Structure formats: C-alpha cells, structure tokens
Structure 1
Amino acid sequence: MAEQASYQGTGKRKTSVARVILRPGDGATWINGRTIEDYFPRATHRTLVMSPLKLADAEGRYDLRVRVNGGGPTGQAGAVRHGIARALVEADPELRIPLKREGFLTRDAR
C-alpha cells in the first residue's frame, strides 16, 4: 500500500501554536480530536480558519488534522489559519503569492 501524501504547517498567533497536517481527502476537519463545529462554535472563527482553503479553491479536497494550544479562541483560529496556509504552500508552491498577498503567511506576533 502506497504512502499517502501529507503536508505539514505550523502556525502561530499571539501565544497560540497550531500544528496542521493536510492530506488529500473529502474535507474532514478535526481540531484537537473534535470537529471544527464543536471546537469553534462561532461562525466567524470557522470562516477565519477556512479562509486559506477558500482562497486556494481547495475546500473539500483536503482532510485536516490540527493540534492547537495556548491563547483564546480568536488567537487559536488565527494560528490554525496560519498553519493551514503554510501547509498549502508545501502542497502547492504556486499558492505562495496569493496567500502572501492576503496576509495568510504573515505571523501576527502581538
């Protein structure tokens, strides 16, 4: 059985750190063992998290496994977004320019 492609990205925002694993799949998203709807009940956080996939037109093409810790929900959502963007660039280097232009690859240190 062949090894399935897997792409990793680490995202940070404020004191939050997210480790993202991106694999080709049907769009399942798990954050700390919970679905995205359970982990981020607010729609604004879910929109923030999924924005790099939407920009890359990759919604539903990748499964996401995320481990995130530190900070509050908004900081964690920003860290996950940063990690997803970095993993997408690893998967497809041509996405670097549009993701950078939208600010998804920029670390928000605050």
Structure 2
Amino acid sequence: MEVINTSGRRKTSVARLYLTAGSGNITVNNRALEDYFPAELLRIVVNQPLTLTENTGKYDIKINVTGGGFKGQAEAIRLAVAKALDQIDGELRPAMKAEGFLTRDPRMVERKKYGQKKARRKFQFSKR
C-alpha cells in the first residue's frame, strides 16, 4: 500500500495527513497523540472514523496540524482521517457520510467591522 495524503480543515485549523499500513501509531506534529491531546475527548474525536469503520490499529498516521485551538485541530484531523479512509475503501463512505465525518464544517468566526467594537457589537452609545 502506498502513502495516502489528505487534508482536513475546521475554523482556522489545517491538518495534513499521511496514512500508511502499519500498527496503529498516530503522531501529531512529531508527538504521540496522547501527548498532543491530553484531553480524552479530543482523542476520541480524532479516532471516531477509525472506530466507526473498525480500522483501529491497522494504519500508521502522521499528521501536521497548524492554526486554531485544540478542538478545531482535532476536528480538522477527524475530517482528514475520514477522507483518507474513503480513498482506501469506498465501501466505508456511506457509514462515515451518515455520521457527518466527510462534511467540511463551514462555520468561521465573523470578521470585525470598522466603527464597531466586534463583528456585531457596537460601541456604547449614550444620547446625553
């Protein structure tokens, strides 16, 4: 099996993933998954596509992720993993699509506008 290369994005996070056949090692930015994501919930989010398709421990995954916070990075990685599994076996696509793992979440932070305090919040106004 050759190297599968995919990417995933969420908010401002971008994850680039390299998947090869192996023993289930997952490294994120040259660190073990457990070191990079100390919170159990974020590790579960990253492993969701593998667990759903029963592919845990079959592939070695190397991930480079930049931007955003931990949650956005974990969800970007989840999208990249799901896309890689879809490339390997198209039979897995309907199950992952039903769970929403193949959908890019388009929600982004709205930009701040000039003359305002934030995106929608105005400066305090008093008539007197």
Bigger relative contact order, structure 1 or 2 (CA pairs below 8 A, ≥6 apart):
1
Find the aligned partners of 1:9 and 1:101 in 2 and give their Cα distance: 20
What is the TM-score of this pair, normalised by structure 2? 0.82
Question: Deviation string for 1:10-60 (max 9, x for gaps)?
Answer: 111111010111111000000000000010000000000000000110000
Q: Counterpart amino acid of 1:43?
A: E
Q: How many corresponding residue pairs?
A: 107
Q: Counterpart amino acid of 1:37?
A: E
Matched, 1:49 2:55: no
Amino-acid identity (%):
48
Find the aligned partners of 2:89 and 2:3 in 1 and give their Cα distance: 12
Q: Which runs of 5+ in 1 are unaligned?
A: none
Q: Which runs of 5+ in 2 are unaligned?
A: 108-128
Which structure dedicates a bigger proportion of its chain to helix? 1
- Name the Cα RMSD after superposition: 0.7
The structure with the largest alpha-carbon Rg is 2
Quote the offset at 1:71 in angstroms.
0.2
Aligned match for 2:94, one of 84, 92, 97: 97
Structure 1 runs of 4+ off > 4 angstroms?
none
Aligned match for 2:59, one of 58, 62, 69: 62
Quote the offset at 1:74 in angstroms.
0.1
